[in-house]
Amino acid sequence: ISMYGANTEPTKTFGEQCLVARRLVERGVRFVQIFHGSNGGAGAWDAHSNLKSGHTALCQQVDLPISGLIRDLKQRG
């Protein structure tokens, strides 16, 4: 769980989604898509001002969970 950041903020919510994605893949689901935004939309990623501060905060939410998911899937083959 810590590999996905699912135990601490600010990565908890997205980390949990990545962990669910891994479990779906383990159970044979062939296509899994994870959204980081509002209801599958771009959410805060669709920014037109304060890009550096906004995207820095968003990257802090997704970087660890994404890397954890990739490492975990690679380890599991």
Q: What is the pLDDT of residue 41?
A: 66
Q: How far is CA 45 from CA 5, 10, 51, 54, in A?
A: 20, 16, 9, 8
pLDDT computed for residue 24 by the predictor: 97
Per-residue pLDDT at 39? 62
Q: With a cut of 70, which residues of the chain have pLDDT below it?
A: 38-41
